[in-house]
Structure 1
Amino acid sequence: MTEFTPLLSLFGGGLIGLAAVLLMALHGRIAGMTGILTAVIPPVQSDWAWRAAFLAGAIIAPMLIAAMFGDVISFESPVPMPWLVAGGIVVGVGVYFGSGCTSGHGVCGIARLSPRSIVATLVFMASTAATVFVVRHLLGGF
C-alpha cells in the first residue's frame, strides 16, 4: 500500500522546482538528470564541477533527511531483479530516443511550455499507466 503524503510531496516538489529554477537562472541549464549524468561520466566537460555537485546533492540530501528525522527509507521491491534490470534498460533506451528524461521534459520542459516536452511527458505518463495496468490486472502482478 502506498502512503498518502501530500505535505511532504508538496515540499519535495517545491524543492525540485527551486533547484530547476536556480540551475536555469545561475547556469542557463536545464535540470535533466540524464543530461547531467551523461556529461559527468567521463569527466571531460568544462562544467563538470556543478554537474557533479548537483548529482552529489541528489544522493546526499535524502540521506541527510533520513538521518535528521530518523526515517528509514525502504529499498525493497517485490519485483524480481531481472525484471528491474530489464526495466532499467528499457527506460535507458527510451531516454536516449526521447532526448531526455522525466526531470528534463516533465519538470523543466513543461515549465518552458516546450511542445516537444509536453508530448514526451504525455507519452511517459501513458506508457506508465499502460504498464501498471498490464502488470497489475492482466499479469496479476506485483
Structure 2
Amino acid sequence: MNFMYPLAGGVMIGLAATIMLYFNGRITGVSGLIGMSLTKITRANDWRYLFLAGLILGSVLLYFINPAFYAYGLPYGFGKAIVAGLLVGFGTRLGRGCTSGHGVCGLPRLSMRSLVATLTFMGVAIITTFIMKQF
C-alpha cells in the first residue's frame, strides 16, 4: 500500500487544525462548521464557507491530479452511502462532535470527552467493518 496520500493528508489536517486554532482561536470540527454555516447565514460565517469550499475543491483537485484515486467508487452503492451519511450525521450531533473535532483537536487538548468519543468511533468502525464484510 502506498502511504503517501494518507501521510500527506494527515499532515495537512494537522497543519490546518493548528493554523485554525492559532489564528482563529477555534478548533476544526467539520460537523460544527457545517452545522453553523447551514443554520445561520451571516457575515460571521464567511470563513466557514471558505473552509468548506476548500474541502470540496481539494477533493476535485485530487480527482484531476490522480483520477485512479477515485476508481473504486462506492463499493456498497449510493443508497447505503446515503444511509451511512445520515447515520454519521446523527451520531456527530449525538456525540457533540465529529472525528476531526474530537480526534484531531480534542485529544491533543487532553479532553476526556474526546477520548471517549474517539474510542467509540474506532470501536464502532471496527464492528461495522466486520459486519459489512460478512454481507
Same fold (TM over 0.5): yes
Alignment partner, residue 84 of structure 2: 87
Identity score, percent: 37
Partner Cα distance (2:124, 2:117) in 1? 10
Matches within 5 A, 1:18-33: 18-33=15-30
Partner Cα distance (1:40, 1:77) in 2? 27
Question: Whose radius of gyration is greater, 1 or 2?
Answer: 1
SS in 2 for 1:121: helix
Partner Cα distance (2:66, 2:81) in 1? 28
Alignment partner, residue 129 of structure 2: 132
Alignment partner, residue 74 of structure 2: 77
Where does the alignment leave 5 or more consecutive residues of structure 2 unmatched? none
| TM-score scaled by length of structure 2 | 0.89
SS in 1 for 2:97: coil
- Tell me which of the two structures has the higher relative contact order, counting C-alpha pairs closer than 8 angstroms and 6 or more residues apart: 2
Cα gap change, 1:131 to 1:34, in 2 (>3 Å) = same
Cα deviations across residues 90-110 of structure 1 (Å, max 9, x unaligned)? 211111110010110111111
| TM-score scaled by length of structure 1 | 0.85
Alignment partner, residue 111 of structure 2: 114
SS in 2 for 1:18: helix
**How far did residue 75 of structure 1 move?**
6.1
Work out the number of aligned pairs and report it.
134
Question: Do the aligned partners of 1:39 and 1:45 also contact (CA within 8 Å) in 2?
Answer: no
- Which structure: greater helix fraction? 2
Where does the alignment leave 5 or more consecutive residues of structure 1 unmatched? none
**How far did residue 89 of structure 1 move?**
1.9
Residue 49 in structure 1 maps to residue 35 in structure 2: no
Partner Cα distance (1:35, 1:82) in 2? 25
| Aligned mate of 1:105, from 102, 108, 122 | 102
RMSD value, Cα: 1.7
Partner Cα distance (1:15, 1:35) in 2? 19
Partner Cα distance (2:61, 2:86) in 1? 29
* Greater Cα shift, 76-85 or 123-132: 76-85
